């Protein structure tokens, strides 16, 4: 818990000679969360408490999220320090890697991973078996759309205009026109953001092209992981974590992993992962899915609250499930699976941000 980590935060700040802020998003099944606009809003408050400092370090663990939100967080961090480092205990993928591009140093160790910047967009599929009706929102990777078109134009080498028009109609038959437009808009947008972060850090010309080309489209798969040596070969400022920093960060990560259930594949929650409470006579349990903490700014947590209903079949209530501005990054459809109790009496009621100040 946060009060128990205060001494560890002091130790990490002493080792890094920097103010340290921690940002973790859950990768647990049914509780996955991502980088989103409300996280950027929380960073504003944290950084106001920290103030401008010569050196700032971000300890980051995430599967990714919205690239524009990652850009906002990266620029906020840079505006509050002269020198920025990012510490990756395990992974900073997709939009998390975009944040790393703003850093003067990225500290990694064995098992740490960055990845291609390949965010998903939420689209509604229009399939024939649904009689033209929407399937509801599903996540589609930007590069998957381009991969389909590349299959037609590069692999199959379809050059006939009528045949290419048929390929486009096939794609348009599955996706709404504005969703296809959004996918095509995102690729140059991602490249622009990445180039700007690298340029602001002093990178130039061919070095920028090498990094951005690979991260935006050169890996061939979003699942490609970038370890320390490969990151260095790309020209990223990646360094091996010093032993004392690695040890302190590992201790911190184990504590957070226990508290939030990172890497958890089980749906059943352990008692130590739940914050039990009674509100208005109703039993509730809160599960943490996002954590933003610092020694000076305190602890901000996004929690998903489950309420025990009396004999009512479990359901996910969409209203109020998101954070203050509706941007939790939680997929309601994902949340529904596996959250009901054995008798179908448990439901996610809402999601909210909670704050705990440093004592």
For every residue of 235-253, DSSP letters joined together read T--EEEPPHHHHHHHHHHH
* Residue 156 in this model has a pLDDT that exceeds 70: no
Structure-token match 């002269």, residue found: 82
- Do both 277 and 150 map to the same domain? no
pLDDT on residue 227:
96
Half-sphere exposure of 249 (CA within 13 A, CB side): 28
Least confident of 25-34, 114-123, 160-169, 223-232: 160-169
Strands 91-92 and 53-61: unpaired
Angle at 71 between CA 68 and CA 74, to 5 degrees: 155
- Do both 111 and 19 map to the same domain? yes
Higher pLDDT, 311 or 43: 43
Residue 47 structure tokens: 């950084």
Higher pLDDT, 58 or 311: 58
Query: In terms of residue numbers, what domain contains 127?
Result: 120-187
- Do both 125 and 229 map to the same domain? no
125 alpha-carbon distance from chain centroid: 24
Tell me if 268 is assigned to some domain.
yes
- Do both 302 and 327 map to the same domain? yes
> Where a domain ends, among 164, 187, 210?
187
Average of per-residue pLDDT across 193-213: 93
Tell me if 210 is assigned to some domain.
no
Number of structural domains in the chain: 2
Decide: 227 and 113 in contact? Cβ < 8 Å: yes
> Where a domain ends, among 172, 187, 202?
187
Residue 271 structure tokens: 């008692």
Spatial separation of the C-alpha atoms in residues 353 and 275, rounded to whole Å = 14
Residue 147 structure tokens: 């991969």
- Do both 97 and 131 map to the same domain? no
Tell me if 331 is assigned to some domain.
yes
Q: Taking the CA atoms of the chain, what radius of gyration do you get in angstroms?
A: 22
Tell me if 62 is assigned to some domain.
yes
- Do both 250 and 329 map to the same domain? yes
Least confident of 79-93, 171-185, 222-236, 279-293: 171-185
pLDDT on residue 321:
31
- Do both 89 and 235 map to the same domain? yes
- Do both 127 and 248 map to the same domain? no
Spatial separation of the C-alpha atoms in residues 294 and 22, rounded to whole Å = 6
Higher pLDDT, 274 or 234: 234
Average of per-residue pLDDT across 294-315: 67
Half-sphere exposure of 352 (CA within 13 A, CB side): 10
Mean pLDDT (the chain, rounded): 75
Tell me if 195 is assigned to some domain.
no
């Amino acid at each position: 818990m946060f009060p128990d980590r205060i001494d560890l935060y002091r130790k990490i700040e002493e080792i890094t000679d920097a103010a340290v802020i921690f940002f973790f998003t859950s990768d647990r099944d049914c509780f996955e969360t991502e980088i989103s606009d409300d996280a950027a809003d929380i960073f504003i408050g944290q950084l106001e408490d920290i103030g401008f400092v010569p050196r700032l370090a971000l300890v980051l663990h995430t599967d990714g999220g919205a690239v524009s939100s990652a850009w906002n967080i990266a620029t906020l961090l840079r505006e509050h320090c002269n020198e920025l480092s990012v510490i990756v205990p395990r992974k900073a993928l997709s939009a998390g890697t975009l944040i790393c591009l703003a850093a003067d140093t990225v500290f990694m160790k064995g098992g740490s991973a960055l990845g291609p910047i390949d965010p998903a967009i939420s689209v509604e599929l229009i399939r024939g078996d649904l009689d033209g009706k929407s399937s509801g929102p599903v996540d589609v990777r930007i590069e998957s759309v381009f991969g389909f078109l590349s299959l037609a134009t590069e692999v199959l080498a379809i050059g006939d205009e009528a045949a290419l028009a048929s390929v486009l109609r096939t794609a348009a038959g599955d996706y709404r026109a504005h969703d296809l437009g959004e996918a095509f808009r995102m690729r140059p947008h991602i490249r622009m953001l990445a180039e700007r972060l690298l340029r602001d850090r002093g990178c130039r010309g061919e070095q920028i092209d090498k990094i951005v080309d690979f991260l935006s489209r050169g890996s061939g798969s979003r699942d490609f992981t970038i370890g320390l040596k490969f990151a260095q070969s790309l020209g990223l400022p990646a360094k091996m974590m010093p032993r004392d920093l690695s040890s302190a960060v590992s201790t911190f990560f184990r504590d957070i992993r226990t508290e939030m259930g990172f890497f958890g594949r089980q749906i059943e929650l352990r008692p130590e992962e739940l914050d039990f409470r009674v509100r208005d006579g109703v039993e509730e349990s809160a599960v943490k899915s996002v954590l933003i903490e610092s020694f000076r700014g305190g602890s901000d947590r996004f929690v998903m609250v489950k309420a025990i209903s009396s004999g009512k079949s479990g359901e996910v209530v969409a209203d109020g499930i998101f954070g203050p501005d509706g941007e939790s990054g939680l997929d309601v459809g994902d949340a529904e699976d596996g959250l009901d109790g054995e008798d179908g009496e448990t439901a996610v009621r809402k999601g909210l941000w909670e704050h705990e100040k440093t004592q």
